[in-house]
Structure 1
């Protein structure tokens, strides 16, 4: 009997042990400290910011606005590529979404404070989201926005209109600015080192830029938003220029240096070089910025641009981009500059959006651009005296010069100037023998080649509303 009772006791113990397994806390036994289950927001932020480099250092957009010409292979300057993929940008926006969710969710927001205050992390992520979406909608027009990156609810998001995207982005900027608090700035911030004053400046500069983009499409909204940004504070000196700072190490060095390590294919364009030579000579150009932006040709020792839209295999006959960019791994590239802000203020004044003086701001903008590029005060004053303000066309031309190598920003401004009828001094003309059925300088990018098959109904609705999925279709902002 005792033996039977002993067996019962053992059996009962085994049963209790197995039925209790669901409630036993094994602590961190199955947790790999090297692979955390929750994303680290500082790493996500760094990744999103590093993704900006591909757009800041774009070759295609700098060819569109004819700062550059191709070397031997001229297809890019003849607009060979029609379809452009948005997947990379949306992947980065998914990281942005994660940063915001981690800092909002009650289960994760407290732990996330180890990487900066919740409010400041949300603000930084939202500002970056706006920067990406502005650039994206100015490339493609209609895009998934309100339903984007929400696969749990829909895998076929609606394409929102450019106007709706812009309105949404303004609201998100205002929300981001309101979210900034006195706590620690975000860790992993390679743009501003967690300086929330600079994040505020960045947000207001984006708002000012977006507002001016509306000068043809929706001037009333543009004027309101412009003055909000002006009063709140955009970039106020060259010391505040917003730039992407590269490192000398190959993992994060200047893409222009990488390109020229493998092939010397990008040359200064004859359109740009001739404009800056102006009334001067090919060794002493009228615009002193040319000597800071370009090198003398290897053969001949003069400033000479390569014919735009043509094959230029004798590369040593032409000027290259300055060695301070193409041979310097840690050379920064500009995102927004003080000169750009001053030109925006000058144009806003000329349009009657503000009570500022257009001519004064124009002079300050030209001087700021000269200073940015290392031109002496005397040379800048001499140039300005010979190129005084007469009309908005002067602002358009000088802004185009000042945005050298800021391709996507300059392309958007050129399309806006064209819509406003103020681009004549810039004088860009498409080359002959265009590709991808282009009939002029591209007005947009075509959607991904798979866009129609993956989201057919919404793709078709966007095309019906916006126009053909071609490079020639003029977007709402630029009509």
Structure 2
């Protein structure tokens, strides 16, 4: 009798377990109750802004356009690095896409907007930032995955789109985003523009103007159309310049200050002889012709005069040369610029000279030089005197002065210098005597990561076949 009871009890327990299993939600067993299962959009958006600092604070493109030279180790100015990874930027683009998706999907859009900006404003800001990053990627590498990118396991081997396709797509995205902007605040976590959608609109329009001018060689018809669409909607004073907002704390401060003080303590980056000599001009190394040199560089410690370091060479005795101004290299909160009013004015002057607009190229050139002087803190009388001594004489004037005005805006300056070289009126630069990574001149692009071929061989090979060798001096479509 005892055994029979035990058997029946065991059967009863088994029966209860089966019923329980049929009604259990096993999906919840794999959920960590201590972690959110949806991203915090404010944090996600803030994370997508951070990479701008890496772009505006990069050293290598400032070597390409010969603003700076190295001290003891000249390899960076000799183009040592061939391969550059797109992984970090694609990770940021993935986060931006997640923001867009959550604000678009009917199942998640209400939660995405709860306590945050409207769906439209979140999508608009994320899209404008996405366009900004993608444009930088294509003028650095040329062809990159675009139309088939960011799809995860749905497409692990995306094609590398042509630059023509990318620019067309980016203009469409940008126009869509600008048209979506509505009254109200911008996204939570926006420390770039403090959630001010009027600033996002101005940034988007200014980006559109710069992208349009970038097509002056490759597709001037499209460039002129898009330029005129942006005209009148861009920044209109130095007070509206776009810069990265650094803080006086080690984790969020100006990267130039980090190089010279904590944590690197490396007195290496000097102002090049190419730049210093150009600004000395008809003056002397004590009283240079261009008053901006006082604001951009410091006199050499040993001579108290402006002395440029030999570009592309070793400059061991660093105190014999001029460093970048201490207002930047010793200032944690010094701004590094994305776009400036002077750049906008130079773009308008060039567009007028190219007959894209009916504006006055000469007048805009003068305004642009004065705006650059003001940006760097030069006295207005000195600025007026400089302009009088260096009047507008054509596109060559714009090419030179724009090169000066974009000092330390590395990637933007390199993009513009290559474009103007393709047009025939760039500030002439001579490559160093010794060049590394099989470079044959000032780099025309940066090569894909060393793992690109292994990770997506078929599409990588197709891109190389269409664009040319994966080398520093393969000229991309934008500048042919």
TM-score (norm 1): 0.95
CA distance in 1, matches of 2:199, 2:17: 59
Partner of 1:279: 282
Shift of 1:14: 8.0
Q: Is the 2:241–2:337 contact (alpha carbons within 8 Å) kept by the matching residues of 1?
A: yes
Give 1:386's aligned residue.
389
Mapped partners of 1:324, 1:349: distance in 2:
35
Runs ≥4 residues deviating over 3 A: 7-18, 20-26, 28-34
* Structure 1 partner of 2:195: 194
Q: Does 1:296 align with 2:299?
A: yes
Which residue among 311, 325, 329 is the counterpart of 2:328? 325
- In the TM superposition, what are the counterparts of 1:164-203 in structure 2 within 5 Å? 164-203=165-204
Query: 2:21 & 2:310 partners in 1: Cα distance?
Result: 76
The answer on 1:354 being equivalent to 2:360 is: no
What SS does structure 1 have at the residue aligned with 2:231?
A: helix
Match of 1:397 in 2: 400
How far apart in 1 are the matches of 2:389 and 2:415? 28
| Structure-1 residue corresponding to 2:316 | 313
**Match for residue 102 of structure 1?**
102
Corresponding residue of 1:447: 448
CA distance in 2, matches of 1:380, 1:12: 95
SS in 1 for 2:42: helix
Distance 2:331 2:346 in 1: 29
- Alpha-carbon distance between aligned partners in 1 of 2:8 and 2:39, rounded to the nearest angstrom: 49
State the distance in 1 between where 2:332 and 2:32 align. 37
Where in structure 2 are the equivalents of 1:371-450 lying within 5 Å?
371-423=374-426, 426-450=427-451
Hey, what's the Cα distance between the residues in 1 that align with 2:284 and 2:33? Answer: 65
Counterpart for residue 161 of structure 1: 162
Report whether the alignment pairs 1:36 with 2:47. no
Q: Distance in 2 between matches of 1:99 and 1:151?
A: 15
Equivalent-residue separation in structure 2 for 1:198 and 1:460 (angstroms): 41
Provide the C-alpha distance between the structure 2 equivalents of 1:9 and 1:180, rounded to a whole number of angstroms.
68
Count of paired positions:
474
Which digits, 9 at most, give the CA deviation of each residue in 1:358-392, with x for residues without a partner?
01111111111111110111111011110111101
CA distance in 2 between partners of 1:409 and 1:30 (Å): 46
Cα deviation, 1:29-64, whole Å, max 9, x if unaligned, reads 996565211111111111110111111101000000
Match of 2:366 among 363, 368, 377: 363
Contact 2:272–2:309 (Cα < 8 Å) also in 1: yes
Q: Which residue of 1 aligns with 2:144?
A: 143
Q: Secondary structure at the match of 2:337?
A: strand
For residues 315 and 13 of structure 1, what CA distance do their matches in structure 2 show? 83
- Please state how far the C-alpha of 1:15 moved relative to its aligned partner: 4.3
1:335 is matched with 338
Matches of 2:42 and 2:33, distance apart in 1:
17
2:246–2:333 contact (8 Å) kept in structure 1: yes
CA–CA distance in structure 2, aligned partners of residues 420 and 324 of structure 1: 35
**CA distance in structure 2 between the aligned counterparts of 1:269 and 1:470, rounded to whole angstroms:** 25
Aligned residue number for residue 134 of structure 1: 135
Question: For 1:108 and 1:23, how far apart are their aligned partners in 2?
Answer: 27
Q: Distance in 2 between matches of 1:134 and 1:168?
A: 11
Measured after TM superposition, the shift of residue 463 of structure 1 is: 0.8
* Cα offsets for 1:392-412 (capped at 9, x unmatched): 110111111110000000001
Structure 2 contact 184–197 (Cα < 8 Å) conserved: no
Stretch of structure 1 that moved more, 220-229 or 34-43: 34-43
SS of the aligned residue for 1:181 comes to coil
Distance in 2 of aligned mates of 1:56 and 1:22: 58
Gaps of 5+ in 1: none
Q: Which runs of 5+ in 2 are unaligned?
A: none
Give the distance between the partners of 2:324 and 2:169, measured in 1 at CA. Answer: 38
CA distance in 2, matches of 1:280, 1:33: 70
Partners of 2:164 and 2:306 in 1: CA distance: 43
Structure 2 length-normalised TM:
0.95
What is the CA–CA distance in structure 2 between the aligned matches of 1:247 and 1:18, rounded to whole Å? 60
Aligned to 2:78: 78
Alpha-carbon distance in structure 1 between the residues aligned to 2:103 and 2:9: 51
SS of 1:152's equivalent in the other structure is helix
Q: Deviation string for 1:80-133 (max 9, x for gaps)?
A: 111111111111111111111111122221111122111111111111111111
Match of 1:470 in 2: 471
2:51 alignment counterpart: 51
| Comparing 319-328 and 177-186, the one that deviates more | 177-186
